[in-house]
A and B are shown apart, each in its own frame.
Chain A
Amino acid sequence: MKLWSVFRVSLREQLRSPWDLLLVLIFAPAFIIAYWSFMGGGSTYYPVLVINQDRGRCRMGDSATSCAEQAIAAMKLVTYESGDALLRVILLDDRAAAEQKLRDRDAAALVIFPPDFSQSIQAALQGQPSSGAPVTFVGDLNNPYYSVAGIAANAAIDGYIQLATQQSRPVAYAEESLGGSGTRSEFETYVPGLLIASATLMMFSIAIAVTHQLEAGVHKRLQITCMRAFDYMGGISLLYILIAVVSVLLSFWTAQLLGFHSQGPLWVAIIICIITSFAVIGVGLITASFSGTSARAAIVVNFPLVLLLFFSGSVFPPVKLSLFTLAGHTFRIFDFLPHTHAVVALNKVLSLGAGLDEVAFELVAMTLLSVLYFMAGVWLFKRRHLS
C-alpha cells in the first residue's frame, strides 16, 4: 500500500532528524509549563497596593487595634478554592510611587484607607452615625486585572466591615460552582485552551515540512510514478496525526504533573485533540498549497494561526456574534472554525466533567469541519502541486 510506504518513509526521515522531532514534540508541553509558571504555579495572583492612612483604633473586646490593619489582613486571606492566594498585598506610603506602579502594571489596584477608617468602624459598632470614611480604589480601568483585584479587595474589606460592625446584609449571597470548576486552579481552567493552542501551533511544522518537500521537488518525482495524490497526502497526514497524538499525550502528562486533574474521561479529551489535529493538518496543507517555499509558508501560516487561536476561544474569550439558531443550537460567526467547538468540548470534559454524550454536538460539528478542512487542504494541494 503506497500510502503506508509514504508514511513509513516520512516517519523514517523524521526520526533521522531527532532534534527537529524533539522540538516539535516538546513545543506543546513547554507551552504548558510556560503558562503554569506565569500562573505562579497554579493560579494568577493580583498585586494590590495599600496605603494605610488610618490613625484610629477600634476596640475589639479588651484590645484596641487598627481596623485598617485588620481589613488588610482580611484581604490577605482571600484565596482560590484550591487554597492559592488571590491577592498579594503590598504596603506603601507614597501615592505617587503607587500610581507609577499602576501605570507600569506592576500592580493591579491601589487601595487607600482614610485616616478616620477605624473611627468610622468604631462609631458604627457603637450605633453612632458613621463619618462614612471613603476607602479609595485606584486603578487603570483598561487593565483587565484591575476588575478582578478591585472586586476581590472590595469583597474582603466589605466582609471585614460587616464582621467588625456586627451588621449583616438583609440578603445573603451564595455561590455554586458548575461541575468541578470550583476546585480548579486558574492554570487548570486554561489547560483546555492551551491544549488546543498547542495542537494548533503544529501548523507551522506541517506547512513548513510540506513546502520543504515541494522545494526539494520530491512531489515531482512521485508524480511520475503510479502513486496517487491520496497516497502522498494520506501518508504525510498520517505521520503528523501520529506526531500530534504523541504531542497531545505529552501535553496531558505534563499538565497532570503540574497539578492538572481532568474532571471527565481523558480519552474523550484525547479524541477531541486528535480531531483538532486533523483540522490543523488540513489548514497546514492549505497554507502549503499557497506557499512555494518554506520561508513563505512560515509567513503565510500566521494568518490562519491567528484566526484559529484568537477567534476560537483558545486564547481569548470567543466573539459571540450569533448568526442563526438550528435545532436548539445558536450558530455564531466563528463556529465555522473547528477549534471553537474543540475548546467548548474540551472545557466541558476537562473542567466540568462531561462525558462523550454531553459533547456529542461539538464532536460531530468539529469532526465535520475538520474533515472539510482536511479535504480542502488535500484538494488544493493536489490541484496546485500534484496536477
Chain B
Amino acid sequence: MSEIVLQTQHLTKHYGALTAVDDLSLEVYGGEVFGFLGPNGAGKTTAINLICGLLKPDAGQVFIHGKPVGGSGVRDGEAEIRTRVGVCPQNTILWDRLTCLEQMEFIGEMYNIPRKQARMRGSELLEILGLAEKRQRLASTLSGGMKRRLNLAMALVHDPELVVLDEPEAGLDPQSRVLVREYIQSLTTTKGTHAKTVILTTHNMDEADRMADRVAIIDHGKLLVLDTPAALKQRLGQGDTVEIKLENGLAGSPVDSSASEAKARLALQDIASDVKLEAQADILHVRLLNALGRLADILQALTNAGFHPGEVSLRANTLEDVFIQLTGRRLRE
C-alpha cells in the first residue's frame, strides 16, 4: 500500500447548532484520485477547508505527510506543508487585471517559488491546459471555461504533491471537461517525479466513477461509506439490471403477464431485489447487486421455474444509484 499522504482523525466542526463535519476520519494514499462526494450542504467544502487549514477544527486533527495542519497563519513548518498542497477552489478566484502568466507568477511567488521558475512552470501549465495563446491576456477578457482552467492551473503552479480540486469540471464545456479530466488523471501517473495525490469533490457521479480510485460519500458531516467505486456499486444501490428475453411467450395476456411475473419473482426471491416483466416484449427486468457474478444462478433459477431465458443484456449499477440510496432523494438546497 502507498504511504498515507493525508489523514484526518475525528475531525469535527460546528457552526452554532449545526455540525458541518462530524467525527470525520479517513486516509488518502499517495498517487490516488480520491473522490469526495456528498449532497449540497453535506460538509464537503467545510471538510476541504479544514484539510487545507483555512478553518480550525473544533476537534480532531489533519495530518499531511504525518505533520499536523494548523488553523491559520504560516507557522513553523506549516509553510512547508502549504507548498506541498495545491487547492483549486470551487469559485473562480482570479485577479481581473492581471494576465494569465502574471497570475501564475504571483501565486508561484506566494508559494516561495522564484519568479523566473514560477514563470516557466506557469507557461508550461498554461500550455497543457490550452491557455498558451492567452498567456498575455487579462483574466477579465477570458471566457468562463478559460477562467476555470486558469483557476486549476494556479493550484498547480508550485508543483504540489497533494492537489485538492473542488468541482474542477463545473462550468466547463465538453471539450474542456475532457482536457481537464485527462490532465487530472495524468497527475497521478508517475513521470520521473512522485505521482501526485488528488482529492476531488464533485456532484458529477460519472466524473467520480471515471476518475476516482476511491470514493468517500459524506452527508450531514458524517462519512457514510469509503471504498472503490466498483466495490460500492457491488454493495450498494438498487443493483445492476439484467434484462432477459423470455422465449416461451408467457406474457401473452395481462393475466398471463401478472402470473408470469409472480412466478419469476418467486423463482428469484433469494437472488434479486426486484423483478418486473415487460409484457409487450416478454422481457424480464431483474435487479440485483453484482449481477454479473450471479448471472448463472439467475438463469438456472428461471430455467428451473419453467422459463426459457433467451437473449440477456446487463445494465450496470451506477455510482449515482449508490449515492441516492445513501443520501436519499430529498432536495437539500
Contact = CB atoms under 8 A, between A and B. Distances in A.
Interface of A: 2, 5, 9, 12-13, 16-17, 216-218, 220-229, 386-387
A227 to B, nearest CB: 5
A16 B111 CA distance: 25
Contacts of A386: 72
A216 B74 contact: no
Given A9-B106, A217-B91, A223-B54, A228 B73 contact: yes
A150 B61 CA distance: 78
B89 A217 contact: yes
B179 interface: no
Contacts of B53: 224
Given A5-B110, A216-B96, A224-B85, 9 more contacts: A9-B106, A220-B93, A221-B154, A222-B110, A224-B54, A225-B111, A226-B112, A227-B110, A387-B73
Nearest to A386: B72
Contacts of B107: 221, 225
A3 B33 CA distance: 35
A116 to B, nearest CB: 77
Contacts of B82: 224-226
17 contacts: A9-B95, A12-B97, A216-B94, A216-B95, A217-B93, A218-B94, A221-B89, A221-B107, A221-B154, A223-B54, A224-B82, A225-B107, A226-B74, A226-B83, A227-B110, A387-B71, A387-B73
Contacts of B91: 217
> Which of A17, A218, A227, A386 lies at the interface centre, i.e. has the most chain B CB atoms within 10 A of its CB?
A227
Interface string B48-69: 0000111000000000000000
Contacts, number: 65
Interface SS of B by simple majority: loop
Contacts of B170: none
Interface of B: 52-54, 71-74, 79, 82-83, 85, 87, 89, 91, 93-98, 102, 106-107, 109-112, 138, 154
Contacts of A13: 95-98
B73 A226 contact: no
Given A5-B110, A227-B110, A220 B98 contact: no
Contacts of A218: 93-95
Contacts of B102: 9, 12
Contacts of A228: 73-74
Contacts of B138: 16
A358 to B, nearest CB: 44
Nearest to B158: A225
